[in-house]
Structure formats: C-alpha cells, structure tokens
Structure 1
C-alpha cells in the first residue's frame, strides 16, 4: 500500500489496512475516510475508540515525498465484526466535523465579510486558521439562533456569492482552517485516462422564468398579494415554463431584483461523472479539464486500493453557483 495510516500519533496500522475510501463534497464541510482493518491477536493493536486522532499520508500525484492527505482527523465511529478474522471499520473525518455537529448562536453586525466571520467562529472554537483570503463582499446583519457553525459559515458564503462575490469553500488543512476560492487551483489536471465517463442532461433543476418578490410585510392584518419586483425569462419557448419565485430581503431596488432574477435562470442541467486513475490531490471545488472543457469538482470519492481510482462529479462554474450557492 502506498498510503500510511497512523492512529493516536503512535500506532502505524498500515499493514492492517484492507481498504481505504475518501469522500469530499461541496455540500459537506468535513473530508471523510472509511478504513477497514484486519486485526489479529499478534498485531499488538490497542483498543481503538472514537475521539482518537488519525492521520492518512501518501505521495501526492506526480511527486515523490509522502505528505499528510487527511490531517488533522478524528475517529468518529468504530464498528467491529468477527467472522474468523476480526475486522474494524473506522469512520474518520477531518476536524471540521466539530463545526458540522456543534450548535451555537451568533449576532453579527452588518458590513462584515465572510472572512471576518470565519475568524470569529474559529476563535470561539479554538481552531487555528491558515492564511485566509479577503472575500471583500460586505454582508448584512445576521441573527443566527441555535444552528450548526457550518450552517452559519455556509450562509455567509452563499450571501457572498449571491451578492456577486466569488465562491468559497472551507477546508481543514494541516496548516489550519482554509477558505478556498472555487476553481483557484494553480495546477489544473487534465482528465485524459478515463475508465468511465457518464454525461447527464436533464430539465430537473432548470428554471426558465423567475419572479422576484418583495419581502412579506406583516402587521397590516390583511392578506395581500406579494409585490413583484422583477420578472425575467429565457428558454420558455424551447423548454416550457419552469418558474421559480425568489424572495430576498436584501434586494431593495428594481435593478438589483432584475440582476437577481437573471442569475437564477438556468437551462438544461448538465453534469459529468468520471471514473479515472486517482489523482490524490484533487479536492471538491478544484477545477479540472475534461476534453478541453474547464469544469469544477462538485464531489470526489476515491478508493485507495492498489494504484487507486477516483470518481468525480463535475459541472460548470455557473451550475455550481446556481446549485450550491444560490439555492
């Protein structure tokens, strides 16, 4: 095996590993690993329990030195089975899982950026930060009550994208919490050794007509129709009417409503699913090239057995913005 697994900073269990799979997605915050160990009485392995730190290292694609690929990480779940040979199945996450599973409340003033708010969350949870980019877009006042830290982070990042800013995704790296700009990887890999390629084209998720509605007003005591601020349509003749109603209390002008309506229009949805030899440095949010087309990795799952394979779900940056950041 070309990968190394260290548990509790001292137990090298690499020789006991039967399988390792890794999963990463723009719709989840924590990088996930599933590890299966075959354990014998002579292995000398101590009791493995949730909460123990774990590190998976490997040689990055195209390089020679071994580096941590999933670190810092924690064992979240341990399942034991014994049918002649004892096996341990470990579910492992990077430490961003604590932000996905923990709730708090924050009252945040307007004109902060997503970067500033990320630093606030990280400080509260004693999570070290790597060098963070300036997301620049000033956000409105936020009242976050009893929800996960990840949902707050994601709300800030979605508001940034909705306001015309760049798309970002949080990542936990060995150097600390990172805010990664979607598609900003300097090395863009070309996927040219394909095992399988599936192209999906569908009207599911398509939007050919958008109405932007004024935020509902309460207190009048009467039910009245919502005020329409803007209507935009495109592709109705070819695809039929697929209408979406949008209400956003941040939209104050007709021009802003028109811009928002246009941003929600979407024609035929097209995604690609690719299985190929593993390039172990590709993460969700990275850009790749497929047949000359630059696409964004929406999710990646990899099987590290042997030379390793990866399965990528790919879409254009515009579709990623609509599906992940504008909904």
Structure 2
C-alpha cells in the first residue's frame, strides 16, 4: 500500500527520525494473554534510511477515529526485532513492543509477607527495577505470604492480580503509558465504542459451548495430612438443572477462611461459554481489556484480543467476551 494511506500515522525512531514516507504497513496487536502491546511495521529502505536495530527507542502515533490531533498509540516502545528482505528492493520488517516487555523477559526472586496488596507489591517491583508508575489504584485485597522463586516479574505481578480477583477484588491489567506503568481496571475505559452489525461491523461470529462450563465448585482446605481426607471449606452450585453437574475442585493455599472459599467458589461458576469474533472498521484506540457495546444485543463485552490494521481504510479484528468470562478465563484459571 502507498505511504499516502499512512499520512494519519507517525513512526518516529530515536525521537528524531520521522519514517512516515517509508512506511508500507502498520499493525498493532494486543491480548489479555500477554502483557505487551506489539506493533509490526513494514518499511521501504531508502538511501537516506537512518538505520535501525534492536534496542532503539521508537513510537507509533496516529489520529484517533473521529479525531483531528495525533495521539500516542504505542509509546514508549522499543525495537525488538528487525528482518531485512531483498527482492529487487530492500525492505525491513520491524517488531516493536511497548516497554512492559521487559517485565515479561526479566526474572527475579521475591519473598513477600502476608497482608500486602497487589498495589504495594507492584511498587516494590517498580522501585527495584526503576519503573516509573502512573495511576496505581489501591487494589484493597490483602494477599497471602508468597515465596516467588526464579520467574518473570510479570508472572509474579499476574499472580498477585489473580489472587486479588479470587478474593473478590477488581480485575486489573498492567499497561504502559507515556507517563509510566499503570494498573488499568478491566472495562473502566471512559469512551465505550458501539459496534453495530448494520453499521461499522463487517462480520460477526458468535460461539457458544458447554466446554469449560462449571456448575458446581468444591473448595478444599490446605492438605495437612496426606493420609486423611481434606476438609471441604465450601460447595457452591448453579444451573445444574440446566446443564448437568460439571464440578471443579479447587485447592488454593491462598484461601484461608470459609468466607474466602465461598467468594472464590462463586467466581468459578460458569454457564455456557460465549465468545464473539468481530471484523470492523478500525477504531485505533481500542485496547485489550476495554469495554465495548454490541448494538441491539444490550450486551457490554470485554475485548480479549485486538488486531488493528492501520491505514486510511483501516480494519480491526476483535475477540470479545463477557466480564464474567474474562474473570474466569484470565483471573480464576491457572495454577493456584
């Protein structure tokens, strides 16, 4: 595609090289399964190309859908990978991540006492790793003692945020912003875009399945004696008459009381698993974790993944699910 299609976007290297006329394609991708926002930029290498290599600072900016002024779409970013290809013309494909990638790629060990919150632990990670913070809310729920052996900083933070959710707290996702790392509460975006099947949506696919449905949850206490039955702290059921008994057994060392067990059990209960795949006109500021409204359905849904194909006639592909689905799939599941 001609660079004319990207006049509404800027790719700036090292805060001084504007690469706009060399851009042949830009995509942005993000998922709740990963921490970092990723851009892929296709460039035409000219004689006056400044050169590019992993580790350099880079940003992607653009005019938002319906707007007039440039905003940062991915900033601060780092060049992570470069791939040159020669087929008559020299072209470069660049993979860019926002700087949360360092939390995913860097490992450490920590010992945390009981009684801290995820916000307090994030402040410790940030202080040790020189990470600037921005808009860190009080996550409220106090966490259990944790011994984190060698693993990524993101894995530790993710564990803290999952325990917060299991104990009845809000759902949070780390996001890098130009002002520093923030904890974004899932679905709390101020602008909620409306997706309309008769308007801005090209196609929509709805999927419903009993795979993953949970209608009864049994929460067990800590296993103190391997020769004896484990104490049952709570049993919660829902919709067994509709879908049958599909039971999940939970043994979570972070759950210490019956009240916490009941809260956790209710969080695991899951009816029919429903997700949506949407192809639509691009709204380039929509991020994973944002809430959108599906017109005519009355449903507010959470973006679990997004791919933006930027350009004058940009397109986006969204994966959507309910808030409850997101809580179960991304905050309740996994090792406990």
Please give the TM-score of this superposition, normalised by the length of structure 1.
Answer: 0.94
- 1:37/1:87 contact within 8 Å kept: yes
Partner of 1:229: 233
Partner of 1:45: 49
Q: Which moved more, 1:256-265 or 1:205-214?
A: 256-265
Partner of 1:208: 215
Say whether residues 1:17 and 2:36 are aligned partners.
Answer: no
Matches of 2:303 and 2:158 in 1, distance apart? 18
Partner of 1:167: 171
Matches of 1:266 and 1:325 in 2, distance apart? 13
Matches of 1:127 and 1:255 in 2, distance apart? 36
Across the aligned residues of Structure 1 and Structure 2, the Cα RMSD in angstroms comes to 1.5
Q: Deviations over 1:32-78 (max 9, x none)?
A: 011111223x3x11331110111101112222111221100001111
Partner of 1:117: 121
Given candidates 31, 34, 48, the residue that maps to 2:37 is 31
Matches of 1:252 and 1:117 in 2, distance apart? 20
Deviation at 1:253, TM superposition (A): 3.2
Matches of 1:272 and 1:29 in 2, distance apart? 22
Partner of 2:308: 302
Indicate the SS of the match to 2:301. strand
Deviation at 1:96, TM superposition (A): 0.5
**C-alpha spacing 1:96/1:156, structure 2 compared with 1 (3 Å):** same
Q: Deviations over 1:219-257 (max 9, x none)?
A: x5x533333332223233432332211001232333432
The count of corresponding residues between Structure 1 and Structure 2 is 322
Say whether residues 1:72 and 2:76 are aligned partners.
Answer: yes
Say whether residues 1:283 and 2:290 are aligned partners.
Answer: no
Matches of 1:232 and 1:86 in 2, distance apart? 62
Given candidates 300, 314, 317, the residue that maps to 2:323 is 317
Deviation at 1:87, TM superposition (A): 1.2
Say whether residues 1:261 and 2:284 are aligned partners.
Answer: no
Matches of 1:48 and 1:260 in 2, distance apart? 49
- 2:81/2:94 contact within 8 Å kept: yes
Please give the TM-score of this superposition, normalised by the length of structure 2.
Answer: 0.92
Q: Any residues of structure 2 matched to 1:50-69 within 5 Å, and which?
A: 50-69=54-73
Indicate the SS of the match to 1:195. strand
Q: Deviations over 1:270-319 (max 9, x none)?
A: 01111111111111111110023111111111101332111111111111
Deviation at 1:120, TM superposition (A): 1.1
